[in-house]
Amino acid sequence: MSGICIFIAFSAYEKTRRQAIGVLLQTLFPVLLAVLAYRFLALSPDGPGSWSVVLAIPLATAGIFWAVPYGKKQYWHDLWAFHKPRVPYLDLSRDGNRNKPFMAILPGQSPILGLGLWLAAWPCTLGALAMSFWGVHHVLNTRAVSPMQGLFVLLAPTGVAIFSKGRKLFLIGRRHLGMVVSDARFIRAGTYVLYLRSFEDDRERATLQDQTWRGGGIPHPDGLSGGTIGLVTSSRDEEEHIADAMRPVGQLIAIGAPGEALPFAGAVRMYLPEESWKQPVRELMERARLVALSLGSSVGTVWELSEALRILPPQRLLLMLPGTMSREEYEAIRENVGRTLRALPESDRNQTWRSGTPPPLPDYPLEGPEANPVAGLIHFPEDWESEFTLTPRKDLPWRNLFTQLTRGLRPAFDQLAAYEDRTGRRSG
């Protein structure tokens, strides 16, 4: 009955069915799972070691930790009107593209192997969960009268370890299945988010998102769940969470590192000649709906930031501040970018700058480095007065990088939507 009322209320306020489903997953579904788990516990005739109890607690917990972030994702993706009318980001109809395949395969990439790894990960993870449940059940119901029986105590932690390896199989499989676009001409202007970062960031952001205690980097224990929390909250890496958060604006597109044998999961990748990459990146910036740049001190990243400030309107630029960046590194980036922009001749300066003066980055907004992949977001209103939005830390098990980013992206998305409504343009 409550679900029907939510659907009626959302229809009255012109919200979508997807948003209503997202609200239900965040509210009623966790309550329902908690009630069912309680009923299993209350009605179990065999005491705390019964199969119903061993299964009820971790499965209900995992279901809640899946439902809340997934519901947030459904609501977030339909909260914005960027995708209406929906335009595919790949343009396969142009005459110049017809005789060239739009997809490329990297030397280390095998879609068949990727599909096989993805399929193999399911029995691996599910079998590991069954092993964990069996081990917990055996410990609770059987007295160890011999050393051999005592070995059953190891079933639960062994299952958790195997489960962790199985999750990594999913990730490797997705990397083999990742899309690589052969040429920038296939990407339709105004339908994508260009993701710029230092290539060194790729390996750091290719690890699975793990739960941590607030204020530190200590892994959050799964306890008796046998790793089930990890299945639903940590099954994607950081770049995949960034792609999910940017999805309302468009497909995440990234330039891959030269010589890369296997693409990373998350963004659709394309590869440019190492000796002539600046002009294609500049053109991709101009045709992007949004440019999301992760701050870094490498020469290439500093050039990309300087160029984005030079050619983009302020509403189409978003900067991500890594939590590990120190004050000294940040100040060095500010100085390098400011010096580069001030040296530009008047004719090359951004026409949207006030009085032709390069906009400065804000002061270092953190107390110090912290264990947070993206500590905050910097966006620029029309007057180029930078604004910083802090992203919350993962203080609850169902929070991940996606839920962190959505709370910080609202001001940037609001001003981008207003800019597009006023100008009628999806890029530039």
- 22-26, 35-39, 267-271: least confident range: 35-39
φ/ψ of residue 419, rounded to 5: -65, -45
- Under 8 Å CB-to-CB from 54, ≥6 apart: which residues? 133, 136, 137, 140, 224
> What are the tens digits of pLDDT across the range 129-164?
777 777 776 776 666 666 666 666 777 778 777 877
Which amino acid, one-letter code, is at 174? R
Q: Any bridge partners for residue 90, and if so which?
A: 187
pLDDT band for 218, please (50, 70, 90 cuts).
very low
3-state secondary structure at position 291: strand
Are 378 and 325 spatial neighbours (Cβ–Cβ below 8 Å)?
no
Side-by-side strand order, sheet with 290-294: 268-270, 251-255, 192-196, 290-294, 317-321, 376-379, 387-390
Q: Which residue has the tokens 């965040």?
A: 26
Rounded Cα distance between 423 and 187, Å, is 22
Q: What does the DSSP assignment read for 345-369?
A: -GGGS-TTSGGGPPPPPPPP-SSS-
Q: What integer pLDDT is reported at residue 149 of this predicted model?
A: 63
Q: What integer pLDDT is reported at residue 53 of this predicted model?
A: 63
pTM, two decimal places: 0.87
C-alpha 245: how far from its chain's center? Answer: 6
Mean pLDDT of the chain: 83
Q: What integer pLDDT is reported at residue 37 of this predicted model?
A: 80
> Is it the case that residue 339 has pLDDT exceeding 60?
yes
| DSSP conformation class of 103 | B
